[in-house]
Structure 1
Amino acid sequence: MVYCINHLCNQRYNPDDIGNCLACGTPLLINERIRLLHPLRPLEKDIDSYTDVFEVEDIEPKWGTKPRTRVMKVLRWNEPKYVELVRREVLALINLSHPGIPQAASSDYFTFTLPKEPRLELHCLVMEKMEGENLQQWLETNGKISQNVALEWMLQLLDILDHVHKIGYFHRDIKPTNIIYQPTGNLALVDFGTVRKITRTYLAKVGSSGKDSITGGGGSGYEVTAVCSIGFSAPEQMDGRALPQSDFYALGRTIVNLVTGVAMLQLPTEDRTGKLIWRDKAPQIDKPVADLIDEMIHPFPGFRPQTTEIITERIQKLPWESKVHHFLKSKVFKIGRFVAGALIIFVIGKLSAPSVANYLVVQGEKSETRNDYQSAENFFVWAIQTNPSTKQDISKYYLNKASRLMLIGNLSAAKKNYELSIKYNNQNLDAYNLLGINCQQISDNKCVEYVYKKLLQFNPNDWTVHYNLGRFYDGQGDYKLAEKEYSIAIKSSSSAMIAINNLSRLKIKTGNYNLAISLARSGLKKSNDPLIQAALYKNLGWASLEQNKISDAEKYLQKALSLDNQRIDAYCLLAKAQETLGKIDDARISIEFCLLAKSTDSDVTIWRQELLDRILEK
């Protein structure tokens, strides 16, 4: 049988000895060299795929010396985004050179136009056929794999990925059906149809716009967020933010599928962390190996191993770690642990526990720098076991690291490190306070409430914690809870001037102008800080403006600006007062400051809109 390339044809298979399709007349010899022997995926017209894939006979291959069986992809629809994917695959296969990757030459990509209406242009890519069965077929036939096989296959695939990544690509579709188990026992990685070039431009585009897009002429983008395989693709790839570390996630999930024999969608996940629960289905896998796999499939790419070298190095250490793991669980160890414990205490005493602990901490920090988080944790645990006071040093290390991450805007990673700082020292108040700020910035409301309530357990009378919790409720629009926390802060300390200001502001927003004025005046009597005084005078001006006491409002607002000429909210309110008093020239200056100066204050945003509405009405 020979198949017709025309996907619109109603009868695509034909006898071997004819030149044109009996049903539609399309030539059966493509590009004067290719004959389609049989399809490698179903040919139904409504199948959810943009390509047909055939095993073909290439009678005039551009590389090699004799006709050979190869594979050809045929793009069904001439849409720019799919054409771009095929071209990417062509360039990747031309540039990549590894025995585990199909070969192709530049001449193996060509177009073929159907001879009859509709005269569709079909994009074709011919490549080497990797003989064997894919790992999904292998799993169905042989059942789940052992730990030794899993590690061997991981090393083979990492060797392929190392080549792919170093040439400047990442695959984006690693899964059992795209991995071929060859008769030689070696694995091959196929289907580079979603391959992506790693460039600074691409990474900047993903980082800024949050989407991986294919851009056509004139700058219009086609989103490719759908380039994913459910159960294997990383969360960031599902959201159009694929990274090289997304390949490690897919590889880890592939190994989980192979060692458990369970479909990925049938495995549960932890509600709180989103981590996959799979170890109970793979009792043949030792804890050190399972720990590495869990790192690879971590939901956040920053917590996965960052390079193929790191993973390969970890795998090479695993046999020793597994032996240690088995020994620690053995009867011999349990019987002799008392003697061993005494010996360890003796040795540590001789070597000086603080020195050993400090050495282990340094090694842990080096592992963190290499993004080898599991080794770092092991070193830190050993350090604490050697010298419990080391906990505080480790806590400070994570606190400093989190603060650096905050400065560069990596808020999710910062949150994780603040949590690690607290894990090693749950009395670290600085870590709690900074974690609270971090959680506010990423809008993690549950985290914010947890942090401030935890801090109040340490010191129920800490006015700064009550003030910060009030600000949190204030930002959420829960004014009753905000007023309660501001009031507690004021009662707890005579230094809580800023809480008086915020409570006065809330009273204005809820229409209690007299109480707002009373609070502001009481604060002015207690505070000598010009900035706080400016804020309180602004509140007096605002409340007076709401009471239609325009002259008083103007006076208070001008006083606020004389103390702090950077108060944009005072300019916005002053503009309204000056307009009402007919001082148009003065109002124009205040309006300009209100509209053009930088401010993230939510009240300023509202007043700016009101100003624009008044201007447009005129």
Structure 2
Amino acid sequence: MSSYCINPLCNHRQNPDDIEHCLSCGTSLLINDRIRLVKPLRPLTDDPFNYFEVFEVDDAGTRWNPVRKQRVIKVLKWKSPKLVKLIEQESLTLQLIQHPNIPESTLDDFFTFVPKNSPLTLRCLVMDKFEGQNLEQWIEVNGKISQSLALEWLKQLVEILDTVHRSNFFHRDIKPSNIVLQPSGQLALVDFGTSRRVTDTYLAKVSGSGGTSAGREGIYEITSVITPCYTPTEQINGRAVPQSDFFSLGCTFVNLVTATPLSNLLTEEKTGNLIWRKNAPQIDKPFADFIDELMAPLPGQRPQTTEVILQRLEKLPQQIKNYRLTNSKVFKYSKYTLIILGFVGGVFLSIPLAANYLVTQGEKLEAANNSQAAQDFFYWAVKIRPQSNRTISSFYFDKGVRSTKDIGLAKKYYELAIKYNNRDADAYANLAFVCQQLNQNDCAIKNYETSFKLKPDNWESHFGLALFYDDRQMYDLAEKQYKLAIEMSREAIPAINNLSRLKILDGKYNVAIALAKSGLQKTENIQLQSTLYKNLGWAKLELKRYAEAKADLEKSTKLDARTDAYCLLAQAQEALGEINDARLTWEICLIAESNQLEVQQWRLQILKRLLGEFVTPSSP
């Protein structure tokens, strides 16, 4: 085994493994007293456009991770500000995203190194190495994959992406060569060098706000990541969003199920969509339709979240079975027989019994995901007995409630419930909520307003609209709706809690405390008590009443392990000089799951402090 010199200007970089310094240039072969370069994973060239070198390394471990193991080091050779920013961003990304199939990297794994007698300052990033082949290599040997394997791999990748997106990042370069098939059969997602964090600044650049000059700068930064055939149009145009990852994922699976380079596939003349299905006859129409939906031209036409995709994937196997059944000759004959029997029942039975029979048959067909046939039965049920409308509406409303994890499907069911009964205020309110989840603002506001007209004293609808405004930081409008909900019902404790939080953000800490205390007096719900104690502690923390704040925040965490409460508790402990306790609490704040804006801000503050403590920046 050899040891390689890290100095890119060295004339002879390969050395015996039993020496401490390079025989050619004298640079230490043991980097940071722990890392020895074992072999290059990319060719070592003098090409000035080869910015990064990648080596497999023998890592003796750190105080944070004392296990000796084979890892990978990525070395940035040149001091380009944009490239420095990319590798720093990759380091932060890998620190914040925790998943067994994403490379692990800690604070100690990003550092600078100056070779002996060299003008270069190298920036080094160490990360875990996954054994196995990337899927580009695997497909060249094994050919196209089966439908069952495609479903399994797609689920694995979306579960990884779910962690990435929940951590407020997106990958931006998903393709077969960045996916590793491990010997265990599990996929790993690698190369986060082009990932982006979803921040207000980033969104401002995507939207072009902040002035013309800033808008151009944002576009320039974002469009630098383009992989032909895998990059969606909005990313090429500097408008990448998390749903851009779904486009690349769809393209990746077209490549996997066809074993054909995407550049060799034809495209539709009008839409530009790939024509690929004839190259993948093993893929049934429901799955093919879903892959095409992932590759829809506009981000809004694709599934909006990883959670939606996972819910859809759970249903796909049954949809595929139903598709095969409904396209068989036996089913086609059975369908016509059922319709005829429905007519006969309407003639020979009493009208209510016939209508109930048709509704029941429709419900069974809908449960089997045969929506078109179900609609036929519901149509004739309403024709012979209009009162069936409300029964069918309730049926679809219940299906919407049960489908809340798949918000796209829930929306469809609530719309069908309203179609059969347009006086159901709760159906409008629930439809408004799912529109809100899908970021369809006009749909949300319109349906909330309709719900108010039909049922003016429905506090849940006012609370839902308040959440809509709150999520968009339209705090004045949110506060108005929270107050209306509180006036309408003593049960509106969530509105009291959220109004308390808004008062903290507005600096009205005593008002926030009074609201939180009033909410605690009215509820025995543990989760609500926990979040009310959190607001109580937060307000007291802002008032520098640290001991009281600590007591309330400890109550909050004991009732329910809230990430935001731990972040606040760490700040109270620091203020009281309890440094060891604060360190442990900060660790929980950093690793626990949360998408709250305040939590992200507190995490960023502590990470900046930690980076300042452990990473010594090089001179510019």
Residue in structure 2 matched with residue 296 of structure 1 by the alignment = 294
Residue 93 of structure 2 corresponds to 92
SS of equivalent residue, structure 1 residue 7? coil
Q: Distance in 1 between matches of 2:307 and 2:23?
A: 55
Give the TM-score normalised by the residue count of structure 1.
0.56
The aligned counterpart of 1:235 is: 233
Question: Counterparts of 1:74-473 in structure 2 under 5 Å?
Answer: 74-117=75-118, 119-208=119-208, 223-343=221-341, 347=358, 348=377, 351-353=381-383, 355=389
Unmatched runs of 5 consecutive residues or more in structure 1 = 387-396, 409-618
Question: CA 1:343–1:136 in structure 2 vs 1: closer, same or farther (change >3 Å)?
Answer: farther
Say whether the 8 Å CA contact 2:52–2:75 is kept in structure 1: yes
- Of 354-363 and 276-285, more deviation after overlay is shown by 354-363
Which one-letter code corresponds to 1:283 in the other structure? P
Following TM superposition, by how much is the alpha carbon of 1:309 offset from its aligned partner in structure 2, in angstroms?
A: 0.8
Contact 1:110 1:125 in 2 (8 A): yes
* Partner SS for 2:274: coil
C-alpha change, 1:127 and 1:237, in structure 2 (3 Å) is same
- Cα distance in structure 2, aligned partners of 1:106 and 1:407: 41
Counterpart amino acid of 1:164? V
The answer on whether the counterparts of 2:397 and 2:413 sit within 8 Å (CA) in structure 1 is no
Where does structure 2 lack aligned partners over 5 or more consecutive residues? 346-357, 359-376, 421-430, 443-620
Change (3 A) 1:293 1:213: farther
Could you tell me whether the CA contact under 8 Å between 1:62 and 1:105 is conserved in 2? no
* Conserved 8 A contact 1:14-1:21: yes
- Paired residue for 1:8? 9
The residue type equivalent to 2:382 in the other structure is S
CA distance in 1, matches of 2:18, 2:225: 40
Matched position secondary structure for 2:30: coil
Structure 1 residue 342: Cα displacement:
2.3
CA-to-partner distance for each residue in 1:132-180, whole Å, 9 max, x for gaps?
Answer: 2111122122211111111111111111111111111111111111111
Local SS of the residue matching 1:273 = coil
AA paired with 2:134? N
Match of 1:579 in 2: none
AA of the residue aligned to 1:20: H
Matched-pair contact (CA < 8 Å) for 2:41–2:54: yes
Partner amino acid, structure 2, of 1:251: L
- Partner residue of 1:468? none
- CA drift of 1:289 comes to 0.8
Relative CO higher for 1 or 2, CA cutoff 8 Å, sep ≥ 6? 2
Q: CA deviation at 1:101?
A: 1.0
Structure 1 counterpart of 2:25:
24
TM-superposition CA deviations, 1:213-271 (whole Å, max 9, x none)? 999xxx99962412122221221111221101011111111111111111111122212
Partners of 1:285 and 1:262 in 2: CA distance: 15
- Does structure 2 retain, via aligned residues, the 8 Å contact 1:206–1:212? no
**Identity across matched positions, percent:** 49
Matches within 5 A, 1:597-616: none
In 2: Cα distance, 1:212 partner to 1:112 partner: 39
CA distance in structure 2 between the aligned counterparts of 1:84 and 1:143, rounded to whole angstroms: 38
Residues 513-540 of structure 1, C-alpha deviations (whole Å, 9 max, x = no match): xxxxxxxxxxxxxxxxxxxxxxxxxxxx
Counterparts of 1:201 and 1:129 in 2: how far apart (Å)?
Answer: 32
Asked if structure 1 preserves the Cα contact closer than 8 Å seen for 2:205 and 2:219, the reply is no
Distance 1:72 1:51 in 2: 10
Summarize deviations over 1:169-195 as a string: whole Å, max 9, x none.
111111111111111111111111111
SS at match of 2:36: strand
Structure 1 CA distance for aligned equivalents of residues 41 and 254 of structure 2: 26
Tell me, in whole angstroms, the C-alpha distance in 2 between the residues paired with 1:31 and 1:135: 34
Alignment size in residue pairs: 392
Q: Is the 8 A contact 2:205 2:214 kept in 1?
A: no
The match for 2:71 is 70
Q: Residue 407 of structure 1: CA displacement?
A: 10
Contact persistence 1:134–1:180 (CA under 8 A): yes
Letter aligned with residue 232 of structure 1: Y
The separation in 2 between residues aligned to 1:197 and 1:76, in whole angstroms, is 24
**Paired position in structure 2 for 1:55:** 56
The structure with the largest alpha-carbon Rg is: 1
SS in 2 for 1:173: coil
Q: Is the CA contact (8 Å cut-off) linking 2:277 and 2:288 kept in structure 1?
A: yes
Amino acid at match of 1:147: Q
Shift of 1:212: 13
Is the CA contact (8 Å cut-off) linking 1:112 and 1:123 kept in structure 2?
yes
- How far has the Cα of 1:370 moved from its partner? 9.4
Q: Give the SS at the match of 2:46.
A: coil
- How far the C-alpha of 1:368 sits from its partner, in A, is 13
Whether the aligned pair in 1 keeps the contact of 2:219 and 2:237 (CA below 8 Å) is no
